[in-house]
């Protein structure tokens, strides 16, 4: 059974739009490229045909992946999120106890994760280590570089 993919409405809409474009624009274009390459003669030594078939395979794989993600998506409503504990879609302000640096992250699904935008995956080591914690708690997070200790300063939406 596939894993549930928790997303915001915005991300769900983006996934559906991408899937629509892949199916209605890119898939016919890939078929046309294969047909054009096929017209050029011997398929055994036709690099253009091989490249078009490979591109079509990658396109179909992306479509299948996206269809699975959309099928298993559960849309989260930010207004129903409990901010007494860290959960998906909450924004957490943390202080790294070893560097005394304070950072704010939003806990999101894997598909929405973007560290530059301050969004970390709920399945990442830090995301997992913070889930269920309350303000004032110390979270010990095991990362490849060792164990990091964070003090949870604030939880918001």
Q: What is the CATH number of the domain that holds 146?
A: 3.10.50.30
Convert the pLDDT of each residue in 44-76 to its tens digit. Answer: 778 888 888 999 999 999 999 999 989 988 888
Are 117 and 146 within one domain?
yes
Q: Apex CA 133: angle with CA 131 and CA 139, to 5°? A: 90
Q: What is the CATH number of the domain that holds 39?
A: 1.10.287.180
Are 59 and 19 within one domain?
yes
pLDDT at 1: 42
Are 63 and 86 within one domain?
no
* Count of structural domains, the chain: 2
What is the longest distance spanned by two Cα atoms in the chain? 71
DSSP 4: P
pLDDT cut 90: percent of the chain above it: 52
Are 21 and 61 within one domain?
yes
Residue range(s) defining the domain that contains residue 82: 78-156
pLDDT surpassing 60 at residue 120 = yes
- How many angstroms separate the CA atoms of 113 and 99, rounded? 24
């Amino acid at each position: 059974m596939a894993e549930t993919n928790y997303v915001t409405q915005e991300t769900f809409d983006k996934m559906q739009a991408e899937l629509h474009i892949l199916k209605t624009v890119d898939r016919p274009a890939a078929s046309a490229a294969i047909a054009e390459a096929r017209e050029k003669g011997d398929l055994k030594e036709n690099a253009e045909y091989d490249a078009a078939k490979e591109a079509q395979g990658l396109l179909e794989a992306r479509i299948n992946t996206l269809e699975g993600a959309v099928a298993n998506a559960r849309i989260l409503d930010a207004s129903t999120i409990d901010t007494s504990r860290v959960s998906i879609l909450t924004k957490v302000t943390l202080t790294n106890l070893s560097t005394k640096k304070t950072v704010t992250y939003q806990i999101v699904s894997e598909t929405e994760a973007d560290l530059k935008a301050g969004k970390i995956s709920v399945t990442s080591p830090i995301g997992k280590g913070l889930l269920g914690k309350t303000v004032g708690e110390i979270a010990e997070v095991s990362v490849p570089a060792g164990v990091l200790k964070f003090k949870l300063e604030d939880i918001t939406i």
